[in-house]
Chains A and B, each alone.
Chain A
Amino acid sequence: MANRAKWTPYLLLLPSAVYLAVFFAAPMAQAFGLAFQDTDNNWSLDSWRIMFSDASFNEALRTTLVLIVVIIPIQFVLAMSMALVVNAKLKFSGLWLYIYAIPLGISELAAGIIWYAVFTQQGWLNSFLQGLGVVERPFIFLSYENQGWLIFAIVLAEAWRATSIVMVILVAGLQGIPRDYLEAADVFGASSWQKVTRVILPLLRPSLQVALILRIILAFQAFAVIIAIAGQALTVLPAEAYRWYQDYRDPHVAAAYASLILFLSIASTILVLWLVPTREEQLG
């Protein structure tokens, strides 16, 4: 009986461990294998050379990084505002939380098409601007010549769609902050702003760290939203991986792109852990 109890947890873990080994660890190793081998399965750096010298590579890398650098701060300010509002004990607090959380269920592709409807030539934004008399005829936001507007539209779409996940993590973190701390700040006459910057943000560090890592890794994979809004006019790393796999039938170069995305994700995770250490890491 005692012996059986000892083995029970391992038996329960076994299926998930096997599954993750087959469908997670193995493909990951295989991705590197593909990226560092040529079509005859000889070790080679050809795929990487092809990737780096590809005409679209620099643009894809630059766009991916620009999007992340612009989107992440916007998302965190917005998510923090939403989280504070949800936590402020307003009336209908459940309703606010639900509304802000709605985009959790919205796919990248649907969000992309929705914002395409806003920014397209005969779309909502032009209708609105023309109504105000700002433009005389519809302005073409989404074209290759207007890279700035393309980026802007994608930033709005991503800020709209993917802020909720940060918000939910921050709300959960806020609820873990003991009320005493905030009451103590009240007693000492702290303003709301001081309470946020001096009490809430430092205590929220672990949640911020997790949310940052999650968001950055997911942002490196943004794909459908860019295709839906910009079509061929803008490219990012996952779109290139897709193109090399689907259009050029070259899984090796596609795998090189995939490995690069993984490498960038890991590098930025380390960067976040270093820039936003939680208490334990600061001590250790």
Chain B
Amino acid sequence: MRNANPARETGDDFRSLRQARGRRHTLGRAGLYLLATVMALWVLAPIYLITITAFSPRDVVREYPKQVIPREFSVESMDFFVNSTGVLGSLWNSVLVALITLVLSTIIGAPAGYALARFAFKGRDPYRLVILSTRAFPIVILSIPLAVTFLTWGIYDSIYAVALMHTALAMPFTVLITSSIFVSVPHDLEEAALTLGCTPLQAFLRVVMPLALPGLAAASIFTFVLSWNEVFAAVILTLQERTLPAHVLGVLTSSPPHFRFAAAWFMLAPSLIFIFLIRRYLLGLWGRISR
């Protein structure tokens, strides 16, 4: 008689099983949130520490043991850094190099991206493969021979030398990213514009460009950050006309701690803003081109 009502019994079993699973599920969820928070703190804590260090007065920077809660806000260290010899000049160089890189790599790379996205032609896949394989190329191997070449061209130790090198580095990204952006603009719209009497150029400028613009802007910002952060090529290709990271690296060992920390924050801050601006595109930028 024990199994008089098997259906009900299994029902109970199911319910308790589900409850047990539910409890485990809630626990698992809580664990996930904990893990997520710990990893977020791991990323954010060093940024917090460098920020409070960079905005502390010089004697607090030297103080030991250090306090996690800042007592005094001061731009003394930052002021010292910005007004040190060579910093403003190298900052200006960095901005110029990044802008030239951005313009050059877009002008040269975006048409290739468009071609890869819109046309089926012989050699399309091999070209894509070449671009893919140049994506993570040793910057070291390009910098040294290019330094020798630029010496003979007479542009060694100039912002153009660094910008040309950075463009070569950014080019694969620009081609792949723009290609994926143009792929995501529906071809039908372009064809409709052609049917309605647009020339191919008009269709491109009036229909494709407006739709592709946000993605292209994100790609440009990404290129800017790439150039802003690059240091090896910059330090090899210049002696006087340094970019900001190259200048900081050059004087690093001979500079006091508060200079170093202010420099780190100064190089970090624009990147944080830029990454924030393109946060919605990050997955697309990196995810798509890795396929």
Contacts and interface: CB of A to CB of B under 8 A. Distances in A.
A and B interact physically = yes
Contacts of A221: 138-140, 232
Given A23-B164, A99-B43, A258-B141, A168 B286 contact: yes
Interface stretch (A49-57, A77-85, A141-149, A177-185): A77-85
B9 to A, nearest CB: 20
A220 interface: yes
B142 A28 contact: yes
A10 B267 CA distance: 40
Interface in A22-70: 23-24, 26-28, 30-31, 33-34
Contact of B42 (A105, A160, A165, A169): A160
Interface in B78-126: 107-109, 111-112, 114-116, 118-119, 121, 123-124
B193 interface: no
B171 interface: yes
Main secondary structure of the interface of B (DSSP, over half): helix
A270 interface: no
A108 B28 CA distance: 36
Interface in B29-62: 29, 32-33, 35-36, 39-40, 42-44, 46-47, 49-50, 53, 62
A27 B39 contact: no
B4 interface: no
A238 B267 contact: no
B183 interface: no
Given A9-B121, A85-B36, A114-B46, A122 B64 contact: yes
Contacts of A96: 36, 40
Contacts, number: 278
Nearest to A113: B264
Interface residues of B, number: 92
Contacts of B274: 105
A100 B252 contact: no
B46 to A, nearest CB: 5
A16 B108 contact: yes
Interface string B228-263: 111110011000000001001100110001001101
Given A85-B35, A96-B36, A34 B148 contact: yes
Interface string B119-135: 10101100100100011
A97 B261 CA distance: 27
A254 B138 contact: no
Given A16-B112, A107-B229, A251 B140 contact: no
A19 B268 CA distance: 30
Given A23-B167, A33-B145, A97-B282, 18 more contacts: A12-B111, A16-B108, A30-B145, A30-B149, A90-B29, A104-B286, A107-B245, A109-B264, A109-B267, A110-B229, A160-B46, A213-B136, A217-B136, A221-B138, A223-B232, A257-B140, A258-B138, A261-B138
What are the 3 A-B residue pairs with the smallest beta carbon separation, nearest first?
A172-B287, A105-B271, A107-B229
